[in-house]
């Protein structure tokens, strides 16, 4: 059961003031690493990303846009690593779970259904499944406590 206390003009529940779990911090670190690895090359070296993923070379603009999105998440994950309260990371945790779930579906489509089983896409599939599981678990677990 969560208890609350008044602090200044705000009310904080006890679960909001506890340190964030190590597993959630691991997810933020993995997200930052994956976003760096996919985001920066996606923006600056889209042809390299296309070669690693087996996608059509006509996809350069889409790869650059996806790289920009991933680089934006890099900033978000780094900010989450600095956070100390669940309320500071709750929205990005939920958003990250949804984005990774959708990315996992896309990677599954290419790797399994289309047979484009390149190392890059297989890694993306595995990482997005792990991220979806971790972020989803902590989102629902910590939201119950708040």
Quick one: pLDDT at residue 16? Answer: 53
How many whole angstroms from its chain centre is CA 96?
4
Q: At what angle do helices 86-108 and 60-82 cross, to 10 degrees?
A: 150
Q: What is the pTM of this model?
A: 0.82
DSSP 112: I
pLDDT band at residue 127 using 50, 70 and 90 as cut-offs: very high
The answer to whether the beta carbons of residues 128 and 98 sit under 8 Å apart is no
Tens-digit pLDDT profile for residues 28-71: 999 999 999 999 999 999 999 888 877 888 989 999 999 999 99
Instruction: Report the length, in residues, of the chain.
Output: 146
Q: Quote the pLDDT of residue 17.
A: 57
């Amino acid at each position: 059961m969560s208890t609350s206390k008044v602090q200044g003009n705000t009310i904080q529940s006890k679960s909001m003031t506890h340190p964030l779990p190590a597993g959630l911090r691991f997810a933020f670190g993995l997200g930052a690493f994956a976003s760096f690895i996919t985001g920066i090359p996606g923006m600056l070296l889209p042809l390299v990303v296309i070669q690693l993923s087996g996608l059509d070379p006509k996809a350069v603009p889409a790869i650059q846009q996806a790289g920009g999105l991933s680089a934006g998440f890099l900033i978000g994950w780094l900010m989450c690593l600095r956070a100390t309260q669940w309320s500071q990371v709750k929205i990005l945790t939920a958003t990250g779970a949804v984005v990774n779930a959708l990315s996992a579906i896309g990677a599954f489509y290419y790797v399994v259904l289309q047979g484009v089983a390149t190392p890059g896409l297989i890694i993306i599939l595995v990482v997005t499944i792990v991220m979806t599981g971790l972020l989803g678990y902590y989102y629902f677990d910590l939201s119950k406590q708040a």
